[in-house]
Structure 1
Amino acid sequence: MNNGRDRAVLQQITQGVYVVGVADGEKTHAFTAAWVMQVSFSPVLLAISINPEHHSYQLLKKGGVCSINVLSRDQSNIAAHYGQSGIKDKMSVGTWAAAITGAPVLQESLAYFDCKVSHEVSAGDHQLVVCEVLEARKINVGDAMLYSDTGDMDNSEKLY
């Protein structure tokens, strides 16, 4: 699978766009994710696919908590910011508050899930981190952003 046709087919898989906030004590970080899905009703479990070489993964692994923040269609600037690596003050965009677990919650998001890590599974070049949802809240009104609407914002085109 290494051609434009394959990429176009993969883009047909419907995915939202999220900012995942992670915390290890006072240390916080966030990253944009599209590979997020519900994997269980009882308990409610969500899975996040994350590159294990990224700084956010290290904090998630150590702290064991995260928030999954649902972005609206008009928040491409937020998605782009948290999708970049190497930004000195990564948490500078948006207003953040601590969830019950201590994970940072983006107050401008449509909704959030406050989670604790249950377990993880190796999945090729990523780790699949399964998280138990402890709290879920809708905090703003709007339509959720879809990954297919973002074009090549994450520069993933070169990976296909």
Structure 2
Amino acid sequence: MSQAIADLFRRITCGVYVIGVAVGERHNAFTAAWVMPVSFDPLLLALSINPRHSSYELLKQGKSFSVNVLSREQMDVARHFGSPASTDKLASVAWRRGRDGTPLLVDALAWFECELTGECPAGDHVLALGRVINGALLKPDAAPLTYRETGDMDGAAAIFPDRFS
């Protein structure tokens, strides 16, 4: 474990998001920090996901995902969706189904709906590319929650290597 390397990587500016996936009546949502815009034309977002994550198969089968942007006041929401998938995390949160059934959080700062257009291996993760098909800014005056502000909530310091290779 390297706290120094974890601290270094927390200096890369990234937000905290709740990613929603669905297939039919099955749905799930999880916290992610590795989301970024990658193209203006067409509008594309990239999501980094561990292929061993319980929601990865829902993402592949449903061929879509939502990106719910959290505000600084939603640290509890980040913690809730970052916990292990032992229960239906959406049961205690206000949400609605997007166009493809993906969960859209009612209290998010903003949300995007994306159709999966491809993926690329990226080390121990997969980069999923999504074409943005819809979106809404719900709280224009709210500041987004950043990954650095979450500290080691996700336990990533234990995963980083001790040194650079």
What TM-score bracket applies, with the shorter chain setting the length? over 0.9
Contact 2:20 2:66 in 1 (8 A): yes
Instruction: Determine the C-alpha separation between the residues in 1 that align with 2:19 and 2:97.
Output: 13
Percent identity reads 44
Which moves more between the two structures, 130-139 or 90-99? 90-99
In the alignment, which residue of structure 1 is the partner of 2:163? none
Q: Deviations over 1:100-128 (max 9, x none)?
A: 22211001100000111000001111111
Q: Which residue of 2 aligns with 1:158?
A: 158
Deviations 1:65-111 (A, max 9, x none): 11100000011111011111232122123211011222110011000
TM-score (norm 1): 0.95
Aligned pairs for 1:119-130 (under 5 A) are 119-130=118-129
Letter in 2 for 1:116: E
The answer on whether the counterparts of 1:66 and 1:114 sit within 8 Å (CA) in structure 2 is yes
SS of 1:74's equivalent in the other structure is helix
1:81 touches 1:93 (CA, 8 Å); kept in 2?
no
Corresponding residue of 2:20:
21
Note if contact 2:54-2:85 (Cα within 8 Å) is conserved in structure 1: no
Whether 1:65 and 2:64 are equivalent positions in the alignment is yes
Q: Does 1:138 align with 2:137?
A: yes
- Give the deviation of 1:50 after TM superposition: 0.5
C-alpha deviation, 1:25, in angstroms: 1.2
Give the corresponding residue for 2:111.
112
Instruction: Report the number of matched residues.
Output: 159
**Which consecutive unaligned segments of at least 5 residues does structure 1 have?**
none
**Equivalents in 1 of 2:86, 2:107: separation in Å?**
20
Distance in 2 separating the partners of 1:72 and 1:4: 26
For the residues of structure 2 that align with 1:55 and 1:7, how far apart are their CA atoms?
Answer: 24
TM-score w.r.t. the length of structure 2 is 0.92
Query: Deviation of residue 5 (structure 1)?
Result: 2.4
Are the structure 2 counterparts of residues 21 and 35 from structure 1 closer, same or farther at C-alpha, using a change threshold of 3 Å? Answer: same
Gaps of 5+ in 2: 161-165
* Root-mean-square deviation (Å): 1.1
CA distance in 2, matches of 1:5, 1:82: 26
